[in-house]
Structure formats: C-alpha cells, structure tokens
Structure 1
Amino acid sequence: MSIGNSPDGNAPDSPGNFPEDDRPTIGRALQQARIAAGLTVDEVSTSTRVRIPIVHAIEADDFTRCGGDVYARGHIRTLASAVGLDASALVAQYDGEHGGRPAPTPAAPLFEAERIRPEPRRPNWTAAMVAAIVAVVGFVGFTMFSGNDKQSGTRSVAEGATATAPAPKPKPDKTVKPAPPKPDPTDSAIAAAPKDRVTVKMVATGTKSWVSARASNNRILFDGFLNKGDSKTFTDPKKLDLVLGDADAVQLFVNGKEVEDDFSPGQVERLTYTKGDPEVG
C-alpha cells in the first residue's frame, strides 16, 4: 500500500493530513513514509539513484548537500515518489520555506546535429594592407624589369643579332584534381562512433548539473557535476543508464546523433540508450 495514497487519506505523517502549522518537516515526512513502507535508506538510494549521504541529509532537513535549490527540489520529488508521498505538496512546502520557486533560467543555445560551428573570425585588415603593398611593389618591379628586357632586345636586333623567342609556358595538367578538404574534427568524431557499441556524449550547456552514468554490468562510469562547457563520453557494448539532475542544462549526443528533448529547468531525468537509434529508456 502506498503511503499518502490510502483511500481515507489518514496515512500517518502525510503532509496533507496536518494543518500547515502542525505538519511535519519535509525530511521527517520522507523518513516516516520510508519506514512505513518497509524500505531502508540503501534500498531508496538504489531505486532513485540519489546517493546515501544525500538521503540521510534530506531526512535530517539538511539540503546543503544537494548543490542548490534546483537539485534539492529534484531530490525531494524523486524521494517522495519512491516512498509514496505527494511530491508536489512536499516541493510546494520546500518552496514556501526557501523563498519560493526559483525563476527559470534562459534556455541554452541548441547544438547543431552534425557539428558545432566555430565563431567567425574578424578580418585582419593589417595583413590585407601589407599583402596589397607587397603586390603593388612586385608589380612595379616586374614592369620595370620587363621594360629593360624589351629595350635590350630592340638594341640587339638593331645590331644584327638574332633574337630568341621566349619558350612557351607549360600548360597546367587538368587531370590533377585538388585534394578534398579535410573533414571537420567534430564530424570525424561523430562519424567514428562504433556501430557495435552504444556511445553517449554529455555536454553541459547551462549551469552546472549533477549527472550519473552506469554501464550494462551496473558499474558506475561517472557520478558527479559537469560545469558549463564540460563534456564526458561513455561507451558500452549493450546499454548505458543515465541520470541527469538538471536535464535542461545537458546536451546529449547518442551514437553520433543529437538528442533533442524539451526538458524543463531542474527536471530530473533517467534515460537508457542502446546500440539502436536514440530512445528514452
């Protein structure tokens, strides 16, 4: 039986069954609901992917280990769902006790699916002027040299010497084709994604976000924060399980393709990807 969802609405210590002044704290409500559900902290941590020290801290009403209000709200929502409480009521209680719901952050710019365009460079006018001056000086020198050659040739003919016609210039070989341009490094990296493995690349595009990556053998590949501009790449023969603490702040590239999902700021997402086309697990 789920705590907080009983028909009579009289589950013990459920936030909805207390007046606002008498309701238990968020941590106390989560702890009592977990105990009533017969779950240990280890079991809740395994099912929610919230680390054990953070579960203990939240049950003690210590939200400093969450890394900010956005992550605290996501952890509260996740833990409440795991023990059968009304997640919206607990999040609303948290917002009321911590200055209200944070304003949404502006959406990060989307990455191109195939490559990331480099910033355009400003024209180097100094180099252009130097090149123009060199070209003018070279043209004047060539003209003067050609004029001296013509005068010398005219003088030789007048004296009876035989003028030698200049040798024809060789024609360029049209069969030689220019070398194809080298591929962009980003295109090469995407095209190099192996077909017999699943490859996931994470790029932090917004504020820092807590992420977790787990291999098909349940081995944790990464568990920590990505700051803006950081990236991580993971591979596995079968599948990769991901947890994004702030899904809106992370851009995903799966098997060489960009994953375009409209996540809300502070939204916690659990995703699974395999060797096929990107699919949410």
Structure 2
Amino acid sequence: MTELGARLKEARIAKGFSIDDLQEITKIQKRYLAGIEEGNYATMPGSFYVRAFIKQYAEAVGLNGDELLDTYKSEIPTPVNEEVSKNITTTPSRRSLGGRSTNNFMEIFPMIVVALFAIAIIVILWFLFQNSPKNDETDPVNSDNGLTLETKPPKEETNPVPPTEEEKPEEEEQEEVVEEPKPEQQLTFVETQGETTTYDLTGAEAYLVKIVATNKTWLNIRDQDNKILVDQAVNAGETFEFDASALTRVRIRLGHTPGNTVLINDQLVEFKSANTTQNLVIQFNK
C-alpha cells in the first residue's frame, strides 16, 4: 500500500464509509477504489482515469484532490505519453489518397448532374415568367363623355346622446381593506455541537432550501425522521434547490463546505463550525 493509498483509506474510515458506500457516492467501481488504496494502478483503464478517480475519491472523503495529486505526483503515473500516442495518426500513402479521391468523385458525379438539371429547369421557368403578357390593371370608374364621376357615401349624422342621470351607473362605495402585516421570517441560531449547527426558522410560509456551489461538493438532505431525501454531487457553478415546505425539520450535510453557500428562503445560513464537512439543522416552527 502506498502512502497516498493509506491516507485515502484512513480518511474513508474516519468518515465511516465502506468501499461499497464510496462506490455508491462516487459511481466508481469498487475494484478501482481498492486499487487506489493498494497503489495497484495497473487495473485502471488508463493513466488519465487514475488521476480523475483519485481526485474524486479524495473529495468524497473530505480531502483536497488537487493538493493530493500535487503532493504524491511521484507515485501517480503521468498520462502524457498515453495521450500523445493516441493523437498520432498514420499518414495515408499516395496510392490510397488517389484512389480515395477518384472514388469520391464517382460518388458525387450523379448528384452534380441532378443539380445542373435542376438549375436548368429553374432558369427556363424564370425566362418564361419574365416574357409572359401582363394584364393591365385598371381601376373601375364610372365614366360618361370622358368624365369620371366620384360618388361619396353620405355622411352619417352622429349626434351623441348624453346619458341621462338614470342611465349613469351608480358608483359603488369601495371599502378600504386594511391588510394585516405578515410576520417576517426570522432565522435564530440555537447551538453548535461538533460539525453540526442548529437554527430555528419562524415567520415563514414556505421553506425553500438553496445550495449555491462555488466548489464541487457532496450534498445529503434528511427529514425529521432521518429519511434520506437527497444524496448527490453538486458541481461547481451549479445551484440546487429543494422545497421543504411539507417538513418540520431538515438536516443539510455538505461534504466540502468552503466556498459553498446555503440559503433558506434566500436568507443566508452561516456555518459555525470550522470543519470541511459540516451539517446544518433547520427546525421549522410553523
């Protein structure tokens, strides 16, 4: 087992994750995860995947993947030679180029003939249309001895009749409705124990949880019965929203807290613990 594999395994055990749990979180096959812990990179599909899997493993257990890759770069195979070999393509011979160009020409020759035939038909139709006799359009007029008589419709007499007093609608007296002020939302800090910070939320009609991820993190949300409602990764630059209006309590767990923000009804919730992985418990007093 390498020093890198030992450090990753120690962080996994500290999180209470088994290899199966880590496979479910990262979606990486557990034989690759075991290979990383043992330093056996020969089972990996390629050098590029070795670095990607190590970084994803580290972030899932609360470690900095980029820092680990830089620290233990001497233990990790580099993907440079592999990528270069994949990008090298063989140069076709002159004979193959010549045969290919001839075959391509024979394939498109019928299409060229059809296109020329269609263009010829369009030109003929256009020529016939330009030389066709046009009907002289004349405006119909009433003529007598060369004089044109214009008839105008008689003007309608429009005398607006003002409405009588009986016909005027009675103005209904509108009663002024005084709306009672709605209670304002209040988020109150309760306590911090270890990596868990608890808040009370009052005066809110809805409970919308929003996570704005600046850095990639693993998100887990549970209800008042400790039932898992959300268990997924949130990538950097994404915003995740969850409607918790039907619940009385939620526990929000972020695998990587630094740089990420949690809001309840667009109100910022502060993390009080200094740990990388933290829990936020929001108790809704409806």
Provide TM-score, normalisation by structure 2: 0.35
| Structure with more strand by fraction | 2
Provide TM-score, normalisation by structure 1: 0.36
Please say which structure displays the higher CA radius of gyration.
2
